[in-house]
Amino acid sequence: MTRIALLDYGMGNLHSAAKALEYVGAKVDVTNDPKLIAQADKIVFPGVGAMRDCIQGMQEAGIDDVIRQAAFNKPVLAICVGMQALLERSEENGGSDALGIFKGLVKRFPDIEGLKVPHMGWNQVHQQDPSHPMWKDIPQEARFYFVHSFYVEPQDQSIVAATCNYGLEFCTAIHKDNLFATQFHPEKSHTAGLQLLKNFVEWDI
């Protein structure tokens, strides 16, 4: 059974993510223990709330360096603010540094008439490479659940795994080697979300 470390640094919907991962066949350790994280087969890096608080929570838990080291050493799935934290900097709170694993910025949605911020609810996700193992058995225009006011703008467009439209076309998933990240919440996205989590559990890199 695949053993997954679900990172607990005080910023994430851990209960629903843990239950969803267990449902699709994983053994889940909700932890901030670097030893348990190192022993896990795979890592899920969730996040909700403000970037500054997330980074502070990681630093206080002592897992920011663990994430940087694991990012390309074992399969990692980052979710929502967890995905945003992979970039260099966010516009949130007047500007907040992130982990800097990928070059690029996290930007706030612009004011567009008729569109509410945060972007909340179901939206279609447009896969850039449907052959990627993480998209297995997921329809190319499947809908996923979003709750966010900021979106990522990676410098390297080759890492964009999917886009979504909400007043503008924005990156909603990124991939690089053994790392995959989503702006949407797969644990809240019913059938398509559970399939994506199942794909992560079964992802053989």
Catalytic site residues? 80, 185, 187
Residue carrying structure tokens 């996040």: 47
Paired sense of beta strands 96-97 and 89-90, if any: antiparallel
Query: Tokens representing 108?
Result: 């706030």
Residue carrying structure tokens 């897992």: 63
Residue carrying structure tokens 């979106």: 151
> Which residues, at least 6 apart from 6, have a Cβ–Cβ distance to it below 8 Å?
12, 14, 17, 18, 21, 28, 29, 30, 31, 44, 46
Task: Evaluate the omega torsion of the peptide bond into residue 118 and state whether it is cis, within 30 degrees of 0.
Answer: yes
> Which residues, at least 6 apart from 199, have a Cβ–Cβ distance to it below 8 Å?
133, 134, 135, 136, 137, 138
Cα Dmax for the chain = 49
Residue carrying structure tokens 């889940």: 28
Query: Tokens representing 127?
Result: 């896969």
